[in-house]
Amino acid sequence: MTNSNATSLPHGRWDIYGPVHKGLRLAATDLMIRLGRADPLDEEAMKAVLGDLAAHLALAATHLAHEEAHIHPALAERNAAAATRLSSQHADHRTAFAELDRLIGAAALAAPHAAAARMRELYLAFSAFVADDLVHMHEEETVTWPLLCALFSDEQLAEIEMSIIATLSPEENVGFMRLMIPAMNRQERAALLGGVKASAPPEAFAAVLEAAARPTLSDGEFAELGRDLALAA
């Protein structure tokens, strides 16, 4: 699908949306597949997938809140209509989050004879949300991001993103890193973690490696990352 309203995509500009959206896409589509495959009569498997879905939705809601608190106000000062459109889409997302939370609770508490029906209902609702979210993120990356690049310098965009990062708790930071790192290609991954290595205290960088990179990458990918970042074996 193409968007006829999209402007030319900027190359080499500060990408405020791309990395986190890659992570959200990977996590959401993986969860959609897991929901479809889940055995509603396997109590442990159900607990795991429903817990992971609830955690993903909480992180996605946090991502929306960050955009609303930091990106939308800056955009509204220079293009109020664009900011209003994004806020309306986010309101729809929050409605979907509330409904999905209700369906997760219903599936978790369902009696065995009703478990399959409750899981099917949740699976279809989450699939519809993912479809809507993919379209929303596409618009942000092909319409909003070029607009931001036209309105702000890279230094200003970096300042907006750093203001978001500054609000993250250590747990939230690791949560977003666990989304993004496995979704990136080799060059993107090395650039992201190279920046963390250069700017964060050594213990914080080590925590990101052990809590976010190592658990989400294959042994080969992690070794490759070590070579790219010149890490000691």
The percent of residues above 90 in pLDDT, for the chain, comes to 91
pLDDT tens digits, 60-108: 999 999 999 999 999 999 999 999 999 999 999 999 999 999 999 999 9
As a whole number of angstroms, the distance between CA 224 and CA 183 comes to 15
As a whole number of angstroms, the distance between CA 233 and CA 100 comes to 44
Enumerate residues 6+ apart whose C-beta is below 8 A from 80: none
pLDDT tens digits, 55-65: 999 999 999 99
Is residue 173 a contact partner of residue 165, using CB atoms and an 8 Å limit? yes
Enumerate residues 6+ apart whose C-beta is below 8 A from 50: 104, 107, 108
pLDDT at 178 over 80: yes
Q: Is the pTM of this model over 0.85?
A: yes
Read off the amino acid at residue 177. Answer: M
Is residue 76 a contact partner of residue 88, using CB atoms and an 8 Å limit? no
Complete domains list, the chain, with CATH: 18-167 (1.20.120.520), 169-233 (no CATH)
Is residue 151 a contact partner of residue 79, using CB atoms and an 8 Å limit? yes
